[in-house]
Amino acid sequence: SPDPHPQRRHLHFLNCSLWQDNSMSVKRFTFAKFSEVTEQCFLLFTLILLMFFASLTGNALIALAIWTNPGLHTPMYFFLANLSLLEIGYTCSVIPKMLQSLVSEARGISREGCATQMFFFTLFAISECCLLAAMAFDRYMAICSPLHYSTRMSRGTCAQLAVVSWGVGCLVGLGQTNYIFSLDFCGPCEIDHFFCDLPPILALACGDTSHNEAAVFVVAILCISSPFLLIIASYGRILATVLVMPSPEGRHKALSTCSSHLLVVTLFYGSGSVTYLRPKASHSPGIDKLLALFYTVVTSMLNPIIYSLRNKEVKTALRRTLGKKKILTHG
């Protein structure tokens, strides 16, 4: 019998063919505009650029001060130098492209470029989660087991903890990036975000992405929640030890060495957990952008300020480093 709807079948065939062609031909993505008002974009560009330079300068100075001052060659400052390097990589993987998108019509990024940005962002973010847990363990050993601290937190142990942190970040970055970019993207290809983060890229994929979303959630649980629980456990033991210290000076010194780290952990984990651990139905592009802006720019800028303002040894080392630079410049 003749087909009662030949035109409908023909259109359906064309749509399927176009979908397949588009999914195979997607080579570039485009970042969404922040605002249609040019003045707002320029104001945001200026603000983010200033914070970006402040973040780079602050973190670079802390890493340099620790490297050039032998008195700071201890486990705590070794981890702090690694944290500063992670923050530099973290911001450099995201901010330059975002600044370009704010003031230029060239807001596109190739598929390969997007995958590269996602890999490095994930690498630095996951490595920082692990490193913050290593820093909490270091404080636990220093305060709760001071007699064994020098042997258990040797240079070799600290190097191993740093290598593991960077290694976990690299493995997770490779795994997540390969898994997501093995999908087809059928359009629209506008990323409703300012960098190639995992949730907004998954939103552009064709077909069923439930397995990928589950993988992102599991990785977030393992690599965000697990280190956070280790940090909480470490500081629980630290608090119990500090409370029974007989000397008020000892209690104050112990708490002062932990307060900066706790503040950094709260800022980083607070914004990251809200972004990646809340249900998909509660996600809002506007809120996600604000949170991402906070943990990619604001937190990275605040970390050097927090550590330098609340730590006399870091302030002294920074003065020496800046003094050496002035002498070399004038000389």
What percentage of the chain has pLDDT greater than the value 90? Answer: 27
pLDDT band, very low/low/confident/very high, at 20 (cuts 50, 70, 90): very low
Provide the pLDDT for residue 283. 62
Beta strands in 34-177 (DSSP E): 108-110
Choice between 232 and 294, residue whose per-residue pLDDT is larger: 232
Q: Are 202 and 213 in contact (CB under 8 A)?
A: yes
How does residue 7 score in pLDDT terms, banded at 50, 70 and 90? very low
pLDDT over threshold 70, residue 96: yes
Q: Is the pTM of this model over 0.85?
A: no
Please give the Cα distance from 306 to 309 (Å, whole number).
6
- What are the chain's domains? 37-329 (1.20.1070.10)
CA distances to 213, 223, 274 from 277, in Å: 11, 11, 6
User: Does residue 108 contact residue 28 with C-beta atoms inside 8 Å?
Assistant: yes
What pLDDT, on the 0 to 100 scale, is given for residue 211?
85
Could you read off the pLDDT of 36-95 as tens digits, one per residue? 777 888 898 999 999 999 999 989 988 888 888 888 889 988 999 999 999 999 899 999
| Rounded Cα–Cα distance for residues 47 and 301 (Å) | 12
The stretch 193-203 carries a mean pLDDT of 85
The chain-wide mean pLDDT, for the chain, equals 80
Q: What is the pLDDT of residue 6?
A: 43
* Confidence grade of residue 14 (pLDDT, cut at 50, 70, 90): very low
Flag whether pLDDT at 306 surpasses 90: no
H-assigned helices in 277-311: 285-293, 299-309
In the predicted structure, residue 282 carries a pLDDT above the cut 80: no
Residue 290 has pLDDT above 80, yes or no: no
* DSSP calls for 24-73: HH--EEEEPPS-S-HHHHHHHHHHHHHHHHHHHHHHHHHHHHHHH-GGG-
Q: How far apart are CA 288 and CA 226, in angstroms?
A: 23
